[in-house]
Amino acid sequence: MNTAVRLASVTKVYGKGERAVTAINDVSIAIPQGTFSAVMGPSGSGKSTFLQCAAGLDRPTSGSVHLGAVETDLSTLPESKLTELRRERIGFVFQAFNLLAALNVQHNITLPLRLAGRRADPAHLAEILARVGLSGRARHLPSQLSGGEQQRVALARALITRPEVVFADEPTGALDTVTAREILKLLRHTVDVLGQTVVMVTHDPVAASYADSVLFLVKGRIAEVAAGLSASEIADRMTRVGTWA
């Protein structure tokens, strides 16, 4: 199985001298294509930094990050090329929906393509709208949508460029339980049916249980990678993470 993203001995340090904080420390992991991975850990464990480095949003202090089967090294790309890569080869879904209020659903979804100087394929756009359940909402503004619908727009926007990896940072954090599960089912669907690769940071054991594997971070290091866990098993492991430090 090909690798979607690979971290090799990645360390990220913020600050200098006595104020230096090591957010992630010598992290190495390969995430296979077509899989759903969850990243968990207590507050301050390095979850967000892991995602930011893996997605090319932040550069590691040392080590390297490689994207795709061609092993593009994100840590050596100039900023202009890195911006282009993030726009065309990576999708993002965040807790805040980050939609532009003045743009309708269709234009919010196709914004990454327009920024790249590309036109949307009408058939692909229609397919994405259908898959996220927004076929009848293309002309609606974000203010006319529920929170769950807005997150569906954000997911569609992440998928429109046919990215190699979708990174999701607490994508259900602002949603009620029922709506959150709808979004998680959609993420699971993109993996099972579309062959998408999803890497999701979450604090919620139920959300993590939708993933194929769960990566547990403790004090910036990988403490365990476990597959096929139920929500209760994930919650149990989270109660014991302090003993792994």
Q: How many Å apart are CA 214 and CA 14, to the nearest integer?
A: 26
Q: Contact 134/166 with Cβ under 8 angstroms?
A: no
14-56 pLDDT tens trace: 998 888 999 999 999 999 999 999 999 998 899 999 999 999 9
pLDDT given at position 244 = 53
User: Are 141 and 116 within 8 A, CB to CB?
Assistant: no
CATH number of domain containing 10: 3.40.50.300
Model confidence pLDDT, tens digit, residues 123-154: 999 999 999 999 989 999 999 999 999 999 99
Task: Quickly state the pLDDT bin for 93 (edges 50, 70, 90).
Answer: very high
Q: What is the mean pLDDT of residues 157-172?
A: 94
Residue length of the chain: 245
Res. 243: pLDDT tops 80: no
Structural domain count of the chain: 1
Domain hosting residue 53, numbered range: 3-244
How would DSSP label each residue in 69-130? TTTEEGGGS-HHHHHHHHHHHEEEEESS----TTS-HHHHHHHHHHHTT----HHHHHHHHH
